[in-house]
């Protein structure tokens, strides 16, 4: 589920009234947030709300507070065995990720995390990395809206995921809520680089994310034609172009994203 998900909707952990609404929003995955969305004096209460929701049999990823914070150990003790996966902010240390003992989504959002991206993605338990564009932009002193400023970091994360055999990464949030053009531009840029999912902060972002991250009819038709051209063999020709193993793998990946591969 995590590897193929397109939308990851954040929900503040101290707002249990929003948990059912998020679960019914149509998002592929909901992320119950114990970190940025929760003030320090609400951390313990939020943790209990999340623990109770998971104990009732609901599925969710949980973004915990990062290693080195006062809440990290308690967060893991409360929810690591119940959550679908643990999202770890400021992910930089592969050893810390491996010690969790549960499926992990490292949120890579620091300069050190980006420079260690291959090691972080290779850590045991990592399913798929996510990109924390806002925190990284803040550290670098650049505009988090700028595609140019964060192009290298995004590409580094895509390469790291591919090099370690992890699912393609999840792009960071788009903070603009009332301008779908900005969201669509962010999606187009991320998808062009190799991202196949996105972190969302409002249910209205889910529809555009799903549309952008789902292969188009033309892409599906191409992929089906490619596979049909090779039959039981390993080489074929489709639309006048040679089809070999890399092309076959791309076609299979496209169909897998539709649930048909």
Q: Find out whether 63 is annotated in a ligand binding site.
A: yes
What is the pLDDT at residue 229?
A: 80
What is the pLDDT at residue 259?
A: 55
Average pLDDT over residues 82-89: 97
Work out the number of other CB atoms within 10 angstroms of the CB of residue 95. 10
CB contact at 8 A, 42 and 63: no
What is the pLDDT at residue 219?
A: 75
Average pLDDT over residues 162-166: 96
Work out the number of other CB atoms within 10 angstroms of the CB of residue 221. 11
Confidence of residue 227 (pLDDT cuts 50, 70, 90): confident
Q: Find out whether 51 is annotated in a ligand binding site.
A: no
Q: Find out whether 135 is annotated in a ligand binding site.
A: yes
Q: 3-state secondary structure string, 83-116?
A: CCEEEECCCCCHHHHHCCCCCEEEEECCHHHHHC
What is the pLDDT at residue 199?
A: 98
Distance CA 224, CA 53 (A): 42
Mean of pLDDT over the chain: 92
pLDDT value at 261 more than 80: no
What is the pLDDT at residue 52?
A: 98
Closest CA to 195 of 162, 242, 234, 237: 162
Q: pLDDT tens digits, residue range 9-37?
A: 999 999 999 999 999 999 999 999 999 99
240 compared with 209, residue with greater pLDDT = 209
Handedness of CA 110, 112, 113, 118 (dihedral sign): positive
233 compared with 148, residue with greater pLDDT = 148
Q: pLDDT tens digits, residue range 34-73?
A: 999 999 999 999 999 999 999 999 999 999 999 999 999 9
What is the pLDDT at residue 233?
A: 65
Average pLDDT over residues 221-239: 73
pLDDT value at 260 more than 70: no
Distance CA 257, CA 61 (A): 20
Fold that domain 7-213 belongs to in CATH:
TIM Barrel (3.20.20)
Closest CA to 50 of 26, 83, 90, 7: 83
Residue 52 tokens, joined: 């109770």
| % of the chain surpassing 90 pLDDT | 80
Confidence of residue 232 (pLDDT cuts 50, 70, 90): low
Closest CA to 28 of 109, 105, 99: 105
Parallel, antiparallel, or unpaired for β 29-33 and 61-63? parallel
CA dihedral 118, 128, 192, 225 (to 10 degrees): 110
Q: Per-domain residue ranges for the chain?
A: 7-213, 217-258
Average pLDDT over residues 85-91: 98
Confidence of residue 249 (pLDDT cuts 50, 70, 90): confident
């Amino acid at each position: 589920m995590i590897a193929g998900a397109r939308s990851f909707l954040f929900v503040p952990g101290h707002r249990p009234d929003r948990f059912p609404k998020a679960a019914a929003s149509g998002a592929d995955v909901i992320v119950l947030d114990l970190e940025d969305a929760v003030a320090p004096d609400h951390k313990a209460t939020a943790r209990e709300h999340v623990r109770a929701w998971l104990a009732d049999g609901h599925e969710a990823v949980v973004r915990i507070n990062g290693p080195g914070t006062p809440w990290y150990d308690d967060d893991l003790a409360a929810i690591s065995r119940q959550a679908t996966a643990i999202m770890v902010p400021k992910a930089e240390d592969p050893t810390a990720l491996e010690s969790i003992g549960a499926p992990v989504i490292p949120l890579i959002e620091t300069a050190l995390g980006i420079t260690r991206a291959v090691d972080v993605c290779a850590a045991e338990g990592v399913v798929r990395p996510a990109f924390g564009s806002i925190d990284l932009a803040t550290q670098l002193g650049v505009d988090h809206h700028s595609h140019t400023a964060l192009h290298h970091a995004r590409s580094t994360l895509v390469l790291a995921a591919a090099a370690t055999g992890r699912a393609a990464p999840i792009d960071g949030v788009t903070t603009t809520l009332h301008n779908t053009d900005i969201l669509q531009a962010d999606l187009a840029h991320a998808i062009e680089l190799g991202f196949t999912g996105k972190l969302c902060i409002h249910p209205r972002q889910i529809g555009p994310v799903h549309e952008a991250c789902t292969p188009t009819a033309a892409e599906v038709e191409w992929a089906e034609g490619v596979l049909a051209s090779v039959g039981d063999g390993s080489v074929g020709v489709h639309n006048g172009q040679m089809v070999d193993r890399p092309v076959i793998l791309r076609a299979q990946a496209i169909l897998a994203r539709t649930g048909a591969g």
